[in-house]
A and B are shown apart, each in its own frame.
Chain A
Amino acid sequence: MKAVLSLLAVAFLVTFASHAAAQHSLPPVPDDRIADYAGVMQVDDRERLSRELQKQFKKNQISVYVATFQSLSDSDAAVADNLRQAWVAEPQGFIVLYNQHRDKLSISLTKEVFDRFDAAGELQELGAQIDVINKAGPATSVPLTVHSILNKLYPVDDGSQALLDNDARKAKWSFIVPGLIILAVIVYGLRTAWVRLKSQNVFKRSETLPVSSAQPRFGSSLGGTNFASVKFRQ
């Protein structure tokens, strides 16, 4: 049955415009640029990535979409190309597609982006990079792939804040948090030492007690005659 359907599809594609046919079976353009049909992305990660993609679009007019599927009957590359043609209307853009069944990432770049990588001789490097990222698992690899491509197109040095991915932020905090803890410990230590020294009157000049007149009594030259007592147990 599956084979028959495939044959029919092939016949249909051959008979009519393959591009138009593919578009008919494709999902609609996602509002937030992410179509997570496989449900592999965390809500927070998805929202963060979506914000970055929208920010990139406003800033650099680059249209990026992410799509994840549980499985695909067609080849991943073909679906990615179709999605790119259907969703990306701008000259600059790309699609990152994840097939959960095959556990594989596929990228489809617009011609302009492809040419930029090609001209810079970075296509192979990008492929190798994505192969490495691919092993990280979908939750991490999808945003990493997006960032990796965007990083090459718009390096962080150019001021693209969107390229600061979650890992970079974590790395930043990994320095700030211990630093703050160490600073707090130092401040606490200094404060404790200050309070202790102050309580011991280290910073105060010794006061002089008033001189007293006294005469020896009962054979004593020291004192002990003034006296008071209180009971703490009856």
Chain B
Amino acid sequence: MRCPSCLTPVTGPVAECPACGMSLAKLDAKFKTVPRHLRFITDHVSLFTAEDHEALASQIEALEKQYAGLHVSLMTLELPANINLREYVFWLFNRCRFGPADAKLGRNYSVVIVIDVTSGSVFMSTGFGFEQWLQDEDLQAILDAAIPQFSKNRLADGCKIILSSLAAKIRTICAENPGKKVRTPSPPARIEDL
């Protein structure tokens, strides 16, 4: 994995990036207010019609019913220009708490999709539960599948494709890892906010 701020590869538990010193606490000071969010979809900039909203929410709900523990959130925002979007999504993921409170570390199967209208970008990030199953390149492939729709400015259709691709990928993961049990290590005591 890489540092969300400077993209330096990091292995093992670290409280802050050994290269740039980035940590969640430092990002709190940088981004300050956490945007409010709702279950499934939070459309802050009204990108979706009521029909699209309902269709996407239904698709997410179906996906979550199929995979226990999975939490998918879709959020649209109008972020300030020149913001480090990777940093922001990392911070947003941790501070919004999209999944249940006890879904930490390897039990966190949250997936967050953020659409920023300022930069005209779509971001996707996952919880630690998916860290080894949905790598950056897997997430990139899921987003790339929606490019044809995004290029036509059909954001809702693009999101539907993202969700479908995500479902297909998770199905593959489950099929390839039947009943695989991996012990989730205890968090180190030195990290205060755990």
Which A residues fall within an 8 A CB radius of B?
A: 199-202, 204, 206-234
Contacts and interface: CB of A to CB of B under 8 A. Distances in A.
Contacts of A232: 115, 120-122, 147, 150-151, 153, 155, 158
Contact of A221 (B105, B121, B122, B153): B105
B4 A218 contact: yes
B24 A219 contact: yes
A213 B121 contact: no
Contact of A218 (B15, B139, B147, B183): B15
Given A214-B108, A222-B128, A226-B134, 7 more contacts: A207-B174, A213-B184, A216-B105, A223-B131, A227-B125, A230-B121, A230-B147
Contacts of A223: 93-94, 108, 110, 125-131
Given A199-B62, A212-B133, A219-B24, A225 B1 contact: yes
Interface string B150-194: 110101001000000000001001100101111111011001011
Contact of B146 (A200, A208, A219, A230): A230
Given A218-B16, A220-B24, A220-B90, A213 B120 contact: no
B86 interface: yes
A200 B65 contact: yes
Contacts, number: 219
> Chain B interface secondary structure, helix, strand, loop or mixed?
mixed
Contacts of A228: 123-125, 136-137, 139-140, 142-143
A208 B135 CA distance: 19
A219 B15 contact: yes
Nearest to B174: A207
B60 to A, nearest CB: 11
B85 interface: yes
B182 A215 contact: no
A222 B93 contact: yes
Interface of B: 1-4, 10, 12-17, 22-25, 58, 61-62, 65-70, 85-86, 89-94, 97, 99, 103-110, 112, 115, 119-137, 139-140, 142-144, 146-147, 150-151, 153, 155, 158, 170, 173-174, 177, 179-185, 187-188, 191, 193-194
24 contacts: A200-B58, A201-B65, A204-B65, A208-B179, A209-B68, A209-B129, A209-B174, A211-B180, A213-B182, A215-B105, A218-B90, A219-B193, A221-B104, A221-B194, A222-B108, A223-B108, A223-B127, A224-B125, A226-B136, A227-B4, A228-B136, A228-B140, A228-B143, A233-B120
B132 to A, nearest CB: 6
Q: Which 10 A-B pairs have CB atoms at the shortest separation, nearest pair first?
A: A233-B120, A224-B93, A214-B128, A223-B127, A219-B24, A232-B150, A228-B139, A210-B177, A228-B140, A215-B13
A218 B67 contact: no
B191 A201 contact: no
A96 B180 CA distance: 91
